[in-house]
């Protein structure tokens, strides 16, 4: 702690030579400022999101009619592989963990930048290179990777998936993985060493806690994936037989390694967005987070349990100990449930203002609750036997992942948009976007639960008229188009905000945490001065001294002793 105080003491405006920054494109290319890199991450990931969303529209068009030949089976397999891979590796993770964490976390802990600014820039460029590599697969003669985002061996070997497309996919995931690992190292170090004086661990905003725990999970999970990918590449090109039966290898090893990464990955994707939600609800309810410590321990419990649930993706392999993985998977619902009740508890008794960020968050809780409950169903092996690899699972994980990355993610996007750009967005258009997504999303995915229960497997390019899947698939496709249209509204909103700017004040939402204590957008080294940090909500304390946290004990009553010591000073 003393080191921190000596190092940054009272935050200052930055050294002179830093103020002479290049302008325009050169700034974007060369900057090591966490805010520029954070914005690079955010905009790049949103571009990938739009591309992957467009692929989803093609998928839904193919499934609109039975025996459809809108695209060939090969193209269809490429479409859903790259849709899933982009959404998970290139959008969901980098959007939150590269974008929001990079931009917001140093601000929330009162730091001038990340601990390793150059490493941070390297992370971004690895990510961009990896993302472009994946897309380049479409330009190769054999097409892009077509073995699903999970890339099961031996479908992903050189015989079954020849060509450069799959190789580009493997290299792409490795690069993006390294980018994530470097960002994780950076965030852990930043969180430990660059917190402003007074900001103890238990005064950190939940957003910071969640990013910190996410970083730890990345350090656990991603190296395993990278190792598995290197072995896959070796099988394809160096003549090893790690995943092939012929050479004495074991194909199911890939599934174990992949899901040992893959299930923590689900929480790597979700926890950052849970963090955003936990920032937004208190601000728009004018209340502190309900059950802060319980929430922190729930997050840590999720992280711990998430390393012991991977084989619930492998219940139907017949090679795993069902009761253990079932128990662990059921159990992880408990800390997740605690989070949901904590969010409701935060709203309880508050003055809840349904501005668009809050609207998105409520939509998130509705959708995510259902996704979580169907997750509990899938954690039971017998039920998984009946629904595994069907559209039931597709509906489940879209409720969870779309719920977090889009509902919570766009809640966070609109919440911090004024801080990041210095401009306001158009509230009406944001609300319209929300309602279109909310309706479109449910129309898309609720029918898919029924399709799965009626036996429609996932990843099939076509179905027969006699399967009776047609009506539900049509409804689902229409829902997808509505959802797609919502993002046109979003782009219009961004365009108007860009061409006809309304300047944003420093603290438009009466925010609680340190990022709202500086200008919108913040100056180069973030803070000219910091408010005193005596609780979890320093900016709230500053703006509402009559209801300040540090004067209150935890049950809301005023602690007389603190009151006295404050007045006697």
Closer residue to other proteins in complex, CB, 222/392 = 392
Min dist. Cβ of residue 435 to other proteins (A): 15
HEC profile for 460-472?
CCCCCHHHCCHHH
Give the start-end residues of each E strand in 10-136.
none
Min dist. Cβ of residue 350 to other proteins (A): 5
Closer residue to other proteins in complex, CB, 220/450 = 450
> Would you call 485 exposed, middle or buried from its count of C-beta atoms within 10 A (0-12, 13-18, 19+)?
middle
| CA–CA dist 472, 476 (Å, integer) | 6
Closer residue to other proteins in complex, CB, 98/249 = 249
Closer residue to other proteins in complex, CB, 39/313 = 313
Min dist. Cβ of residue 419 to other proteins (A): 22
Using left for φ > 0, alpha for ψ between -120 and 50, and beta otherwise, residue 389 falls in left
> Would you call 402 exposed, middle or buried from its count of C-beta atoms within 10 A (0-12, 13-18, 19+)?
buried
Long-range CB contact pairs, 485-490, < 8 A, 24+: 485/436, 485/440, 486/433, 486/436, 486/437, 486/440, 487/50, 487/53, 487/433, 489/429, 489/432, 489/433, 489/436, 490/410, 490/429, 490/430, 490/433
Closer residue to other proteins in complex, CB, 179/374 = 374
| CA–CA dist 409, 171 (Å, integer) | 27
Min dist. Cβ of residue 471 to other proteins (A): 14
Min dist. Cβ of residue 341 to other proteins (A): 4
| CA–CA dist 395, 451 (Å, integer) | 9
Min dist. Cβ of residue 555 to other proteins (A): 7
C-alpha gyration radius of the chain: 24
Closer residue to other proteins in complex, CB, 38/154 = 154
Closer residue to other proteins in complex, CB, 352/492 = 352
Min dist. Cβ of residue 430 to other proteins (A): 18
In sequence order, what are the residues at sequence separation of 6 or more whose Cβ sits closer than 8 angstroms to the Cβ of residue 491? none
**Nearest CA to 145 among 237, 80, 73?**
80
Min dist. Cβ of residue 209 to other proteins (A): 16
Closer residue to other proteins in complex, CB, 293/529 = 293
| CA–CA dist 522, 419 (Å, integer) | 7
Closer residue to other proteins in complex, CB, 319/471 = 319
Going from the C-alpha of 125 to that of each of 39, 244, 272, 391, 420, the distances in angstroms are 13, 34, 21, 36, 21
Min dist. Cβ of residue 395 to other proteins (A): 11
Q: Cis omega before residue 521 (within 30°)?
A: yes
Min dist. Cβ of residue 211 to other proteins (A): 22
Closer residue to other proteins in complex, CB, 449/487 = 449
| CA–CA dist 108, 506 (Å, integer) | 14
């Amino acid at each position: 702690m003393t080191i921190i105080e000596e190092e940054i003491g009272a935050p200052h405006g930055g050294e002179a030579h830093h103020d002479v920054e290049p302008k325009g494109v050169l700034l974007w290319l060369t900057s090591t400022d966490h805010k520029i890199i954070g914005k690079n991450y955010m905009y790049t990931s949103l571009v990938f999101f739009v591309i992957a969303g467009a692929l989803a529209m093609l998928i839904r068009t193919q499934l609109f009619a039975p025996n459809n030949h809108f695209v060939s089976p090969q193209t269809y397999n490429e479409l859903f592989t790259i849709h899933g891979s982009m959404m998970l590796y290139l959008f969901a993770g980098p959007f939150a963990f590269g974008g929001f964490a990079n931009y917001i976390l140093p601000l929330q802990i009162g730091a001038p930048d990340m601990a390793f600014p150059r490493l941070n820039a390297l992370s971004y460029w690895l990510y961009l290179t990896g993302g472009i590599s994946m897309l380049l697969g479409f330009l190769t003669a054999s097409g892009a990777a077509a073995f699903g985002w999970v890339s099961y061996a031996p479908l992903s070997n050189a015989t079954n998936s020849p060509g450069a497309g799959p190789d580009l996919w493997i290299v792409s995931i490795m690069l993006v993985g390294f980018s994530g690992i470097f960002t994780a190292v950076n965030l852990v170090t930043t969180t430990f060493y660059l917190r402003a004086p007074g900001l103890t661990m238990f005064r950190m905003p939940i957003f910071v806690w969640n990013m910190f725990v996410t970083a730890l999970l990345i350090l656990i999970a991603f190296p395993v994936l990278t190792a598995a990918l290197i072995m896959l590449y070796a099988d394809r090109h160096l003549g090893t037989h790690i995943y092939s039966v012929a050479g004495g290898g074991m194909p199911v090893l890939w599934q174990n390694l992949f899901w040992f990464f893959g299930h923590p990955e689900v929480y790597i994707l979700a926890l950052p967005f849970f963090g955003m939600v936990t920032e937004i609800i208190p601000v728009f309810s004018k209340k502190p987070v309900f059950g802060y410590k319980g929430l922190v321990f729930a997050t840590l419990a999720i992280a711990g349990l998430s390393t012991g649930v991977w084989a619930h993706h492998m219940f139907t392999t017949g090679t795993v100990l069902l009761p253990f993985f079932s128990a662990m998977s059921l159990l992880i619902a408990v800390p997740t449930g605690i989070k949901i009740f904590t969010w409701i508890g935060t709203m309880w008794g508050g003055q809840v203002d349904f501005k668009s960020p809050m609207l998105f968050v409520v939509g998130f809780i509705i959708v995510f609750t259902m996704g979580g409950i169907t997750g509990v169903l899938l954690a039971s092996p017998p039920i998984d036997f009946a629904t595994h690899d069907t559209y039931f699972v597709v509906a489940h994980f879209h409720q969870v992942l779309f719920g977090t990355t889009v509902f919570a993610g766009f809640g966070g996007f609109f919440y911090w948009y004024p801080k990041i750009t210095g401009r306001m967005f158009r509230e009406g258009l944001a609300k319209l976007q929300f309602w279109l997504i909310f309706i479109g999303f449910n129309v898309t995915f609720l029918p898919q639960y029924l399709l799965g229960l009626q036996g429609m497997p996932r990843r099939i390019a076509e179905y027969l008229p006699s399967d009776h899947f047609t009506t539900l698939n049509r409804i689902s496709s229409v829902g997808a188009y509505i959802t797609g249209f919502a993002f046109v509204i979003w782009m219009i909103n961004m365009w108007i905000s860009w061409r006809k700017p309304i300047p944003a004040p420093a603290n438009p939402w009466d925010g609680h945490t340190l990022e709202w204590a500086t200008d919108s957008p913040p100056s180069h080294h973030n803070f000219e001065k910091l408010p005193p940090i005596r609780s979890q909500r320093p900016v709230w304390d500053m703006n509402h001294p009559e209801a300040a946290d540090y004067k209150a004990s935890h049950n809301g009553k005023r602690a007389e002793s603190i009151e006295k010591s404050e007045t006697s000073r």
